[in-house]
């Protein structure tokens, strides 16, 4: 296929060929008029055709142009002198100025000999742009534009868009007096900086009130750019303002949506946290939660205090990785599960083992850290298990700080790992703090540095647990703009002195077994409860509970056995321990049964009862009675 002939049929190609042909005819006419025809471009031949020197084939045109030339034999051909070969009159001009320039450009593209015409055309366009004035360049721009010059920023020009927003301005006046809007927007100091530095400056999203006659009641927002310019040896500033009202409003709608989502997440988070902490008899506890700054999504930090009975208390703190409502929802499920597992009175590592499996079922992509600790006032110890959580910090009465060792297991949700328990001393007069990583972790420092800072702050913090929480937040630099959630749980085991000490007593009796164990236990309980000056009715109930628990241990347990009586300011606790690990169950005894009613009797007369396995093997069965209020 002849590509040249095929491409000539395209409309664009035909126009270029026609334009080139007309341009050559015009050039030949100009040469003949000047009396100096080009070589080989002599007069017409006898047939009225084009001379050989002007033959299109020799000028480099494509064959398609020749075909178009011969397509209409009846059409008159123009002579080189611009006359018709048939009439002899001058051929009328059919090209306008713009068409002629286009033809010259097309000829330059097809015929290298016409490059001079193209250069002349380009020079003409360049001169036309250079000749444009400020009015021509900025007058039709929809953005606000103003030109000032001199140290006092005298007005040289304002365009129509500027006048439409701020009203007309008089040229030659100083900007401080004639452009009060720039003063209100704080642009004059910026313009001074531009003059001094010779560098442009930009201020974004400045509010500009609408005029009274404006059809739009919304305030407008403009981004102002001040650019240094120089004219006639004097420095000036071009002030250019583009309206960004739609962008600002869209950004504000997005921020409002994010605020609503964050508020919903914070509301959910706080509703899932304890509304009021349980206050154990032997501990003073306080906690605080602070969500991340306004630009940060809420996380999944949580804490809890759970009374287990027999004077023991479980303390929990955890952190679900991630942000937003999803993290808060996972946190709520984990916190509920912890409270349920705590009722089983399991060792800390077994609670975390159960929680690990549940976390993997809730959401395999979510990982959480957690510390579960149990305080036993009889032992003066804090038993705990840590699933990848920052260490507990304990401070004794002398101010000596001790940090818990490394976590006893990996974070929750990883699965397949075995957790372990450990213990820290927490005697009377001691205190401890549990916290999430938001308190000690910083982007520019190692987490150990933050933990060390916390240790120093905790060693010097005094006062109630609420005051200690606030002091720790201030010492660690936690403000409302902090970029991470923070949860802190402080517990104190106060040393009882004076009248307060009279409300807390302990008494214990080792039972060696045999037939005399039960009478000894009843006699011991009667004497102790009488010395504690309990009401007669409460003494009888306490003695009956001690007798039944000892009898149950003698029948189903193994030595060593021990009876412990304990009173606090709010309850009486009766506890019996032995070496057998099988936990008792409450069952319904038949009328003819001679045994099986001991636990049912205890559950009926006591406020609460329970049992658990002890760390060294064996079990503990306990019950408690609420003391009458004064």
Kindly state the DSSP code that residue 215 receives in the 8-state scheme: S
Measure the CA–CA gap between 120 and 137, rounded to whole angstroms. Answer: 24
- Contacting residues for 362 by C-beta, under 8 A, at least 6 apart: 330, 333, 334
- Contacting residues for 277 by C-beta, under 8 A, at least 6 apart: 285, 286, 287, 305
Helix 598-605 to helix 536-556 angle, to the nearest 10 degrees? 150
Half-sphere exposure of 96 (CA within 13 A, CB side): 2
Question: Smallest Cα–Cα separation from 376: which of 388, 385, 387, 384?
Answer: 384
Question: Smallest Cα–Cα separation from 400: which of 376, 370, 422, 432?
Answer: 432
Q: Which helix (H) or strand (E) holds 349?
A: helix 348-362
Q: Residue 207 — left, alpha, or beta (φ > 0 → left; ψ -120 to 50 → alpha)?
A: beta
Burial 475-513 (b: 16+ CB within 10 A, else e): bbebeeebebbbbbbbbbbeebeeeeeeebeebebebee
Mapping DSSP to helix (H, G, I), strand (E, B) and coil, where does residue 273 land?
coil
Cα first-last separation, the chain: 115
Res 323 pLDDT > 80: no
pLDDT tier at 264 (50, 70, 90 boundaries)?
confident
Average pLDDT (413-428) is 87
* Reported pTM: 0.64
Residue bearing tokens 């287990």: 308
Looking at per-residue pLDDT, the higher value among 304 and 364 belongs to: 304
Measure the CA–CA gap between 630 and 625, rounded to whole angstroms. Answer: 15
Looking at per-residue pLDDT, the higher value among 78 and 177 belongs to: 177
For residue 154 the two structure tokens come to 């005298």
Measure the CA–CA gap between 569 and 310, rounded to whole angstroms. Answer: 13
Q: Tens digits of per-residue pLDDT, 69-97?
A: 444 444 444 444 444 444 444 444 444 45
Question: Smallest Cα–Cα separation from 8: which of 95, 84, 66, 60?
Answer: 66
Average pLDDT (258-265) is 80
Res 155 pLDDT > 70: yes
Res 518 pLDDT > 70: yes
Helix 536-556 to helix 517-531 angle, to the nearest 10 degrees? 150
Following DSSP, what letter does each residue of 141-187 receive, concatenated? -SSEEEEEETTTTEEEEE-HHHHHHH----TTSBHHHH-HHHHHTT-
Highest mean pLDDT among 3-12, 17-26, 412-421, 585-594: 412-421
Q: Tens digits of per-residue pLDDT, 331-340?
A: 889 999 999 9
- Contacting residues for 232 by C-beta, under 8 A, at least 6 apart: none
Measure the CA–CA gap between 80 and 230, rounded to whole angstroms. Answer: 53
Total Cβ atoms within 10 A of residue 448: 10
Output phi, psi for 395, to 5 deg: -125, 130
Contacts of 114-122 with CB under 8 Å at 24 or more apart are 114/23
Measure the CA–CA gap between 315 and 424, rounded to whole angstroms. Answer: 14
Mapping DSSP to helix (H, G, I), strand (E, B) and coil, where does residue 376 land?
strand
Res 36 pLDDT > 50: no
The predicted pLDDT at position 502 comes to 85
Q: Are strands 201-208 and 220-231 parallel, antiparallel or unpaired?
A: antiparallel
The predicted pLDDT at position 524 comes to 96
Q: Using CA atoms of 518, 520, 524, 526 in order, give the dihedral in degrees to the nearest 10.
A: 60
pLDDT tier at 546 (50, 70, 90 boundaries)?
very high
The predicted pLDDT at position 514 comes to 75
Total Cβ atoms within 10 A of residue 417: 15
Measure the CA–CA gap between 414 and 393, rounded to whole angstroms. Answer: 25
Q: Kindly state the percentage of the chain with pLDDT values over 70.
A: 76
| Spacing of C-alpha 217 from chain mean position | 34
Res 17 pLDDT > 80: no
Looking at per-residue pLDDT, the higher value among 92 and 576 belongs to: 576
Q: Cα angle at 612 between 608 and 617, to 5 degrees? A: 155
Give me the domains of the chain, ranges plus CATH numbers.
134-211+218-246 (3.30.450.20), 273-493 (3.60.40.10), 501-626 (3.30.565.10)
The predicted pLDDT at position 52 comes to 42
The predicted pLDDT at position 123 comes to 60
pLDDT tier at 39 (50, 70, 90 boundaries)?
very low
Res 214 pLDDT > 70: no
Measure the CA–CA gap between 563 and 557, rounded to whole angstroms. Answer: 13
The predicted pLDDT at position 63 comes to 43
Helix 97-110 to helix 115-130 angle, to the nearest 10 degrees? 130
Following DSSP, what letter does each residue of 19-78 receive, concatenated? HHHHHHHHHHHHHHHTT-PPTT--S--TTS---GGG-GGGGT--HHHHHHHHS-TTSPPB
The predicted pLDDT at position 405 comes to 86
Q: Are strands 401-403 and 422-425 parallel, antiparallel or unpaired?
A: unpaired
The predicted pLDDT at position 506 comes to 92
Res 208 pLDDT > 70: yes
Measure the CA–CA gap between 283 and 525, rounded to whole angstroms. Answer: 26
Q: Which helix (H) or strand (E) holds 356?
A: helix 348-362
Measure the CA–CA gap between 323 and 366, rounded to whole angstroms. Answer: 11
């Amino acid at each position: 296929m002849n590509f040249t002939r095929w491409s000539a049929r395209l409309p664009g190609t035909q126009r270029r060929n026609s334009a080139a042909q007309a341009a050559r005819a015009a050039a030949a006419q100009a040469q003949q008029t000047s009396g100096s025809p080009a070589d080989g471009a002599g007069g017409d031949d006898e047939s009225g055709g084009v001379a050989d020197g002007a033959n299109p084939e020799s000028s480099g045109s494509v064959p398609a142009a020749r075909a178009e030339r011969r397509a209409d034999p009846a059409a008159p051909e123009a002579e080189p002198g611009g006359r018709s070969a048939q009439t002899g009159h001058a051929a009328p001009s059919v090209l306008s100025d713009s068409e002629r320039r286009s033809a010259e450009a097309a000829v330059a593209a097809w015929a290298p000999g016409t490059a001079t015409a193209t250069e002349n055309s380009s020079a003409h366009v360049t001169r036309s742009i250079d000749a444009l004035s400020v009015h021509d360049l900025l007058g039709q721009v929809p953005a606000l534009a103003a030109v000032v010059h001199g140290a006092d920023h005298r007005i040289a020009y304002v365009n129509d868009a500027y006048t439409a927003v701020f009203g007309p301005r008089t040229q030659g006046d100083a900007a401080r007096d004639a452009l009060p809007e720039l003063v209100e927007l704080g642009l004059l100091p910026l313009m001074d900086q531009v003059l001094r530095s010779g560098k442009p400056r930009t201020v974004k999203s400045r509010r500009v009130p609408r005029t009274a006659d404006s059809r739009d009641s919304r305030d407008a927002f403009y981004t102002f750019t001040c650019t240094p310019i120089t004219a006639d040896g004097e420095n000036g500033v071009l002030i250019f303002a583009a309206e960004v009202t739609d962008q600002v409003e869209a950004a504000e709608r997005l921020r409002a949506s994010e605020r609503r989502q964050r508020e919903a997440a914070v509301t959910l988070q706080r509703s899932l946290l304890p509304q009021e902490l349980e206050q154990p008899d032997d501990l003073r506890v306080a906690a605080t939660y602070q969500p991340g700054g306004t630009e940060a999504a809420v996380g999944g930090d949580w804490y809890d205090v759970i009374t287990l009975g027999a004077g023991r208390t479980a303390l929990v703190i955890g952190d679900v990785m991630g942000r937003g409502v999803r993290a808060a929802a996972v946190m709520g499920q984990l916190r509920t599960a912890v409270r349920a597992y705590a009722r089983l009175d399991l060792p800390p590592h077994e609670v975390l083992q159960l929680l690990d499996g549940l976390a993997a079922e809730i959401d395999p992509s979510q990982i959480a850290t957690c510390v579960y600790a149990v305080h036993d006032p009889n032992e003066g110890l804090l038993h705990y298990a840590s699933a990848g959580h920052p260490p507990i910090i304990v401070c004794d009465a002398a101010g000596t700080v001790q940090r818990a060792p490394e976590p006893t297991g990996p974070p929750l949700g990883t699965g397949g790992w075995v957790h372990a328990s450990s213990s820290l001393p927490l005697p009377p007069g001691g205190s401890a703090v549990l916290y999430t990583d938001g308190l000690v972790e910083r982007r520019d420092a190692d987490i150990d540095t933050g933990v060390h800072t916390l240790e120093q702050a905790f060693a010097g913090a005094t006062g109630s647990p609420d005051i200690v929480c606030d002091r720790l937040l201030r010492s660690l630099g936690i403000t409302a703009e902090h970029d991470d959630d923070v949860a802190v749980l402080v517990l104190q085991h106060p040393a009882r002195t004076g009248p307060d000490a009279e409300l807390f007593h302990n008494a214990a009796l080792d039972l060696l077994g045999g037939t005399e164990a039960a009478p000894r236990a009843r006699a011991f309980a009667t004497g102790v409860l009488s010395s504690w000056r309990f009401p007669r009715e409460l003494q009888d109930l306490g003695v009956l509970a001690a007798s039944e628990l000892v009898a149950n241990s003698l029948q189903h347990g193994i030595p060593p056995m021990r009876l412990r009586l304990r009173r606090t300011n709010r309850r009486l606790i009766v506890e019996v321990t032995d070496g057998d690990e099988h936990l008792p169950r409450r069952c319904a005894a038949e009328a003819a049964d001679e045994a099986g009613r001991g636990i049912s009797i205890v559950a009926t007369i006591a406020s609460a009862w329970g049992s658990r396995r002890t760390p060294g093997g064996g079990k503990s069965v306990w019950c408690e009675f609420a003391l009458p209020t004064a």
